[in-house]
Structure 1
Amino acid sequence: MFPRNTWYVACTPDEIDEKPLGRQICGEHIVFYRADDGQVAALEDFCPHRGARLSLGSVCEGKLVCGYHGLTMGCDGKTISMPGQRVGGFPKIRSFPVVERYGFIWVWTGDAALADPAAIHHLEWADNPEWAYGGGLYHVDCDYRLMVDNLMDLTHETYVHSTSIGQKEIDETPVSTKTEGEQVVTRRTMENVMAPPFWRANLRGNHLPDDQPVDRWQVCRFTPPGHIMIEVGVALAGKGGIDAPADQKVYSIVVDFLTPETETSMWYFWGMARNFNVKDKALTAQIRDGQAKVFAEDTAVLEAQQRNLSLHPTRKLLLLNIDAGGVQSRKLLDKMLAAEQAAAPVAQAA
């Protein structure tokens, strides 16, 4: 149901600063920790001695120590030592390719020989002093593809987010959908409208009036398996929309990394990158808090949707033109899965 030969966001650096972190990704139980050189390591979360969770242990001088009998693991999956015991002959447990980049920890759950760090999704705003970022993490009990559908069709904002980013003009404005190479892109532009509450606050945050008509844009870019960057913002009406001068608009990128946990649960790394008033930490916190409330509303809807779909697995769902973004995105996912499945017998034969 989910591609494996690809990079997923596994966690953020602060989650593993002092202790190991256990996290299930694509059905794999993995423990993340920092080795003695400060680099991140990722191992199967399974002690080769008695099968305990290594993530319940500790990190001592950069070594992962099982919390059951003190067995010490190397970052390559080889057992190093155990008090009073000879363990050098223990077989290796699985290690996973892992990379720390752009403020995230990325893991590869498929064939390690195919893991190329150069394939990690490029984030042009990360590590750039002209941009600020704030975000968070939600665990969501739904198939990650339901979140893809949600983010690639923002029509729901009018109803799910009526008190923050929703407005009737979203319903009234058509959306275009295109597949551009290995991306699906949806676009919607609303001209000469009043900004909803979330965007009025951002206008004030950039020292712009919040009581004047604006031009608003939403450009959603899906890159499989689960990376969605959404260019969003408002500009004072008639100033050029998304291309307006910086002092006439508020422009941001909504950051969405969807990491499958199981077939019906996922890790949702969300945030917003902006290129205005980047040193204003209070504004960053304000935007993050506002965004957290918006995404919490999505979470409630999606988890209820998943429960309903699980109760009625054979029911056929209806498709409308507004669903084109999700439909095209799923086609790219199916293409990735088909390619992996086609290559699997060859790899096994080798």
Structure 2
Amino acid sequence: MFPKNAWYVACLPDDIVDKPLGRKICGLAMVFFRGPEGQVAALDDWCPHRGAPLSLGRVCQGKLVCGYHGLEMGCDGKTVAMPGQRVRGFPAIASYPVQERHGFIWVWPGDPALADPAKLPDLHWANNPAWAYGGGLYHIACDYRLMVDNLMDLTHETYVHADTIGQPEIDEVAPVTKVDGEHVITSRMMHNIPAPPFWKMALRGNGLADDVPVDRWQICHFTPPSHVMIEVGVAHAGHGGYDAPADRKAGSIVVDFITPETETSIWYFWGMARNFKPEDAALTDTIRQGQGKIFSEDLQMLEQQQRNHLLHPSRKLLGLNTDAGGVQARRILDRLMAEEQAAPATAAVPVAAP
């Protein structure tokens, strides 16, 4: 139910500084650790000796040591040593292509021969000192596509986030959706409206008045497999909105990396990148806390929505005009998954351990 020939965020670099991390991604139990040169490795979380999770072990001089009987694994999935035992004939376990880039650890759960680093998303803000970033991680019990739907239709803000970023004016402007290849863009532009509480805080953080009318924008960008970047912001009304000069607006990019754990659970890496007052660490933390509260409000809705879907799998859903972004994203996903199923693998693809 998800593309596997794609790069997903697995974890953050600090998650694997000196110990292994076990994480299930696209139904595959993986273990992440750092090799002898500090490089990231990802293996099947399965010791070939007795099937113990390697993530319960430790890292010693760049080798992953099983916490059950001391079997030592290399970054390539081959057994390199075991106390009192020759290991030359031990079968290798699956290894997965990984990349450490843009402040994230990425993994490719599909055909290793197709894992092209050039296919990683271009995050122009990630290593730019003119930008600041703060974010977090939620584990949510829902289908990853429900989260994509949620982020590509921000109409729900008026109701789910009424005390933070929601406002009635959102309902008064219809979003516009277009598709460019595998890129879906849904835009909503609002003019001469009051700023909601979160954006009042952001305006103050940028040294701007928060009690004047603003122009507000929301531009949602979906790219496969499940990345959503949302350009958001407000500007003092009458100064060009999205194109207003920097001293008249507070704008950011909402960063959403949705990594399927199973068909009904996800790892949700969220954050916000901004290009105003990047040196203000206190502002970064304030925005991160505010955004974390906003996303926690989505969590309950999505998990209850998933429960309803499981209880009533045959019920049809009503389609609305505001669903266009999510509908187009799902069409792209359906096509990619169909192409994967139809194409012969060029190399052995690891399968989930029982």
1:68-97 per-residue CA deviation (whole Å, 9 max, x = no partner) reads: 000000000000001111122100000000
Separation of aligned partners in 2, 1:224 and 1:334: 11
SS at match of 2:344: helix
2:269 maps to amino acid: F
Runs of 5+ unmatched residues, structure 2: 349-354
Q: Note the 1:178-189 alignment, pairs <5 A.
A: 178-189=178-189
Separation of aligned partners in 2, 1:293 and 1:214: 23
Separation of aligned partners in 1, 2:267 and 2:196: 28
Change (3 A) 1:346 1:205: closer
1:9-66 per-residue CA deviation (whole Å, 9 max, x = no partner) reads: 0000011111100000000000000001000000000000000000000001111000
The answer to whether residue 2 in structure 2 is matched with residue 2 in structure 1 is: yes
Runs of 5+ unmatched residues, structure 1: none
Change (3 A) 1:294 1:38: same
Aligned to 1:174: 174
Separation of aligned partners in 2, 1:166 and 1:172: 12
8 A Cα contact 2:111 2:347, kept in partner: no
The answer to whether residue 87 in structure 2 is matched with residue 53 in structure 1 is: no
2:67 maps to amino acid: G
What is the CA-CA distance between 1:347 and the residue it aligns to?
6.9
Separation of aligned partners in 2, 1:38 and 1:233: 39
TM-score normalised by structure 1 residue count: 0.98
Q: How many residues align?
A: 348
TM-score normalised by structure 2 residue count: 0.97
Separation of aligned partners in 1, 2:76 and 2:346: 26
Q: Note the 1:52-131 alignment, pairs <5 A.
A: 52-131=52-131
- The percentage of counterpart residues that share the same residue type is 70
Separation of aligned partners in 1, 2:222 and 2:149: 10
Separation of aligned partners in 2, 1:168 and 1:41: 48
What is the CA-CA distance between 1:345 and the residue it aligns to?
6.9
Aligned to 1:324: 324
1:244 maps to amino acid: A
What is the CA-CA distance between 1:137 and the residue it aligns to?
0.4
Separation of aligned partners in 2, 1:195 and 1:17: 41
1:301 maps to amino acid: M
Query: Stretches of 4+ moved more than 3 A in 1?
Result: 345-348
Aligned to 2:22: 22
8 A Cα contact 2:111 2:346, kept in partner: no
1:286-308 per-residue CA deviation (whole Å, 9 max, x = no partner) reads: 00000000000001100000011
2:245 maps to amino acid: P
1:320-343 per-residue CA deviation (whole Å, 9 max, x = no partner) reads: 001111000000101111111111
What is the CA-CA distance between 1:182 and the residue it aligns to?
1.3
Structure 1 vs Structure 2 CA RMSD: 0.9
Aligned to 2:136: 136
8 A Cα contact 2:112 2:347, kept in partner: no
Aligned to 1:250: 250
Aligned to 1:300: 300
Aligned to 2:40: 40
Change (3 A) 1:345 1:276: closer
1:241-261 per-residue CA deviation (whole Å, 9 max, x = no partner) reads: 010000100010000000000
What is the CA-CA distance between 1:181 and the residue it aligns to?
1.8
Aligned to 1:210: 210
Separation of aligned partners in 1, 2:58 and 2:99: 21
2:43 maps to amino acid: L
1:280 maps to amino acid: D
Separation of aligned partners in 1, 2:293 and 2:251: 20
What is the CA-CA distance between 1:344 and the residue it aligns to?
2.8
SS at match of 1:99: strand
SS at match of 1:49: coil
SS at match of 1:159: helix
1:255 maps to amino acid: V
SS at match of 2:43: strand
Separation of aligned partners in 2, 1:63 and 1:118: 28
Change (3 A) 1:54 1:286: same
Separation of aligned partners in 1, 2:56 and 2:279: 38
1:116 maps to amino acid: D
What is the CA-CA distance between 1:172 and the residue it aligns to?
0.7
1:183-209 per-residue CA deviation (whole Å, 9 max, x = no partner) reads: 000000000000000000000000000
Separation of aligned partners in 2, 1:337 and 1:303: 24
